[in-house]
Structure formats: C-alpha cells, structure tokens
A and B are shown apart, each in its own frame.
Chain A
Amino acid sequence: MRSVLPILTVVLAILALWYGAAVALNARWTLDQAARAGQELTVSQIVSDTLQQERPKLPAPHQVGAELWKTTGAMALEGRAFSKRSLIYHGWVTLSATLLGFAIGAGAGILLAVGIVHNRAMDRSVMPWAIASQTIPILAIAPMIIVVLNSIGITGLVPKAIISAYLSFFPVAVGMVKGLRSPDAMDLDLMKTWGARAGQVFWKLRWPSSMPYLFTSLKVAMAASLVGAIVGELPTGAIRGLGARLLAGSYYGQTVQIWSALFGAAILAALLVGLVGLVQRITLKRMGMAR
C-alpha cells in the first residue's frame, strides 16, 4: 500500500499536464470561432470551451472517460454490449485475434528455442533470420499478409492473428533460448552422471529452469500481439476491432473516438499482461520458486 501515494502523484501530474495541453491546443479553434462571431470571451469561457469541443485537437480526460463509459458500461447496461457501436464488441474482436496470435506466436517461439538449444545447425541459422524478421516495419508487411491471405480466401480472424504471431514469437524465442540455456555446467554434468537422456534433461532440468524467462517474455509477447492485431485491422477497411475504430476516428476527425479506442487498447493490454503476471505468480509459487 506504500506504493499508492507515488502512483497517485504521478497520475495527478499527468492529468494536470493533459488538461493544460488540451486548453493550449484547443484554444486556437475557440478563439477563431469567437472572432468569426465577433464575440469577446473571458479566460474562463475560453477554458471551459476548450474542454468540451466536439472535435478537439486533444480531447480532455473527462471527455475520453465519458466516451469510454458511453461505449462500454452504458451500452452493457442497456444490454447492447455486443452491438457494432460498442467498444466492448470491437475490443472483443481485437482480443480474439490477439489471443490466437499470442498462442501461435508463443508456441512457435518456444519450438524455435527448443530447436536452437538442441540443434547446432538451427543454433547457427535461425537467429539471424528471426532478428531480420523483426527489423522489417510491421506496417509494411501487414497489408501484404492480409492481401495475400485474402486472395486465397482466408479473411477475418486468422490474418490478424498471423500478424500478431509474427510480432510475438520473437521475444518468446529469445527469452526461451536464454531460459533453456540457464542451467549451468554443473547441473548438466550431474544429469550426465545419472545417465539422463536428452528428453529427461529437457523436462526435468531445462524446462523448469526456463520458467521465469518464459513468463517475462510472455508479457512482452502479449503486448506485441495486441499491437499486431490492431495493426492488422488497419488495412482491412476499418470494419471491426479497436484498430478499425482508430482508423474510422481519424477518417472523420473524431478525436474523442480515437482516444477512447486508444485507451481501450491500453486497458486491454494492461489486463492481458496482468493476467500473464498472475499466472506467473501462481505457477512459480506452485513450483516453490517464489519465496
């Protein structure tokens, strides 16, 4: 509980900065409007106007909060949680692609790491390619993946999940190579003196040793998956998902909608990463590795 005060301080500071920036950025439009109408405005009138414009350059926190509530909780209360205008619906679309992509990416990352650790040729050849794959901007490659897959009749969830997997396999592969190699020479020698087979060394030593590394990299991978799913929603013509909301918002200058979608994505990311952290805590505790 000691951490509450510093966190609160930081949050308040951010809010103050945000309000300040909103006033500063939106004042021009307010003043222009007033000038066109030939009105003189007092400072307090200017400030209050900058914080409730319909299409502000930078929406104020309470506007974003209200929009978030309007498109989630309020709609859920009316029983329309999964209507097309609800952020819950779009969040779910993005979430399902994120989770599928995360599962594929994490699985692929673990398999790659196992291969790299056990196979000399893979050790030499795979990592440079994996690194190269991550240096290509995802914004450049995402439309190609979508278009290619669309042309062979695969649409919707899977193409987005593949882009998610493309981003999320990498941290898992890197983390797991490190984790699977974390047992030291003595641990491995001990296994050798018992005549352990490679499979036994893997399941009884390498795999459990790698758990802390696995969860750390899964957290990074989860966040990367979400980014991948959102990016994957951009080229599809902005129909469904948080990415679509972002894009539609920017088409029509709906800054409040953009920001609420952004915050929706951030909240989703925090929840997902928190969930991985929870599984991590439970697992390590079960294993007796958390003191």
Chain B
Amino acid sequence: MRARPAGKGRDVKTPVIKAENVDLVFQTGDGPVQALSDVSLDVGRGEFVSFIGPSGCGKTTFLRCVAALEHPTGGSLSVNGMSPDNARKERSYGYVFQAAGLYPWRTIARNIRLPLEIMGYPKADQAARVQKVLELVDLAGFGNKYPWQLSGGMQQRASIARALAFDADILLMDEPFGALDEIVRDHLNEQLLALWARTGKTCLFVTHSIPEAVYLSTKIVVMSPRPGRIADVIDSPLPKERPLDIRDTPEFLEIAHRVREGLRAGHAYD
C-alpha cells in the first residue's frame, strides 16, 4: 500500500481544499457555457460544507473539479495541498453520487470491496475494512444481500460505505439523499452527522434542501447561476452536537433565513 497522504498530520488551519478564482467553461455545440466563474473557497480539515443553489449553478461541476473529473479552465484548485489529479492518485477522496450505483451482480459486501480490489488492498485487509464500514453505516448483517433486496435509503448508505472503505479523508457527496423521502432523509442526515463526528472526515455535500444544508453543515456555500458563482458563504454557529429538533431553534431558523436570502439574491439576476 502507498503511504498516507501528507495532509493528515497538518494543523487544522491549512485548507484541505483551496479554490482560487476557479473558472470553468464548457465548450458545447451551441457555444461556450460558463459553469463556474471566479469561485474562491477554502475548506478546512474536518469541516462539513454544503453547497446549495438553483439548478445549473455549478454545484456538481465544482465537486467534479475537486475530484479531477473536470478540469478548471482558469484559476487554481488544490486538494490536500496537491493538484486534484494527484489527490485522486493518493486516494484522497470518496465520491457518492445521487444514485447509489451499486452493481446488481455483486452483493453489498462485494460492492463495497470493489474499490479495494481495484486499489490492490490485500485480501485479508479487504474483508476487515468491509466489515468495519458496514458497521459504520449500520448495515452489518446485510453484506450478503444483493442491492435490489435493500431499500433506497439502505442502498445509499451502502454507497457511502463504499466511499469510506479506503480511508479517504475527504467525502464528496452530490445530492446523495435527493431521491429519498423526507423521513428517511431525516434519519440518514442524523446518521451522517454521527458518522462525520466519529470519523472526522472533511465533507463536501450538495443539496437542494435548505434545512438539510443548515442541519448538517459547519459552512454553507450559496451559489447562483449564469454564470455559476458563489453568492454567499455562511459559517454556522450551531454546536457540533445536533439533535433533529435543533431545527426549531431561533439560531437554526436565522441561518436558514440567511440562506434563503442568498438564494433569492442570486435569482434577482435573471
């Protein structure tokens, strides 16, 4: 196995993700599309950052840039102090998509094992890691089930487990709970917070839901479209310990209000 990324021991102040004036222009059939414009953002170690904004404002694109699935056409972006491409080679992040994307021909355990097989972890280590992350997402005992035997929420948890299996210290999540109903979603949000507290990962989380963003985050990035840019960055004063009913407190509602204002301001452009 390769050495752990150098970032792990560094102090909390050094940003894990540092974006400076990032621009991204897609060349499409009907001309260029400015997906990201002048995006600057620092994400510290262990932060939980939510991205919220209307459709097409570049949330997915930004996450994909961090994952080196897209490459900025301008500005600079570093992940764990490296280029995104190198950060990927160092297995710095796990990516969770909106759809669980589990292979129907593999059991849950073997799905979670897949990235480990690809990265060449030793066999014995693989089994132990799978077991550990299954417990982490509360799916112990479901390892031998096939994806279609699980509910949508359980499948999404399995896909989070898969992203956690190889010890990446950044977790990128693009609307992971977008397709689930509100009650399941509340439950998963609680679990996600507990998981974040336990593992200390740096999380980047895309959502369309204001309560979800406020409930989960230490930092909320409000974005606006055409061109995609950051309208507001809100640092949450909420404590780390967050029971679900924190959502009825005045502090919570105040942040939610500020997010809503930020979204409205973004819309005023069109």
Contact = CB atoms under 8 A, between A and B. Distances in A.
A214 to B, nearest CB: 13
B97 interface: yes
Contacts of A191: 118
A258 B104 CA distance: 48
A195 B118 contact: yes
A193 B105 contact: no
B103 interface: yes
A261 to B, nearest CB: 42
A288 B118 contact: no
A14 interface: no
A189 B70 CA distance: 11
Given A193-B67, A195-B91, A291 B118 contact: no
A287 B147 CA distance: 12
A61 B93 CA distance: 70
Interface residues on B, range: 20 to 34
B106 interface: yes
A129 interface: no
Contact of B95 (A190, A200, A208): A190
A200 B118 contact: yes
B10 interface: no
Main secondary structure on A side of the interface with B: helix
A208 B148 contact: no
B10 to A, nearest CB: 23
Given A194-B119, A288-B106, A189 B69 contact: yes
Interface in B50-105: 67, 69, 88-89, 91, 93-95, 97, 99, 101, 103-105
A289 B148 CA distance: 9
Contacts of B103: 205, 208
B105 A204 contact: no
Interface in B88-142: 88-89, 91, 93-95, 97, 99, 101, 103-107, 114-115, 117-119
Contacts of B107: 288
Contacts of A211: 105
Interface in A143-196: 186-187, 189-196
Nearest to A197: B118
Interface string B157-200: 00000000010000000000000000000000000000000000
A204 B118 contact: yes
Contacts of B252: none
Contacts of B67: 193
A186 B117 CA distance: 19
Given A194-B118, A194-B119, A204-B117, A186 B101 contact: yes
Nearest to B94: A193
- Most chain A C-beta atoms within 10 Å of own C-beta, residue among B99, B105, B166: B105
Given A194-B118, A195-B88, A204-B118, A291 B148 contact: yes
A190 B107 CA distance: 17
9 contacts: A187-B101, A189-B97, A193-B67, A193-B95, A194-B119, A211-B105, A287-B105, A288-B105, A288-B107
Interface of B: 67, 69, 88-89, 91, 93-95, 97, 99, 101, 103-107, 114-115, 117-119, 146, 148, 166
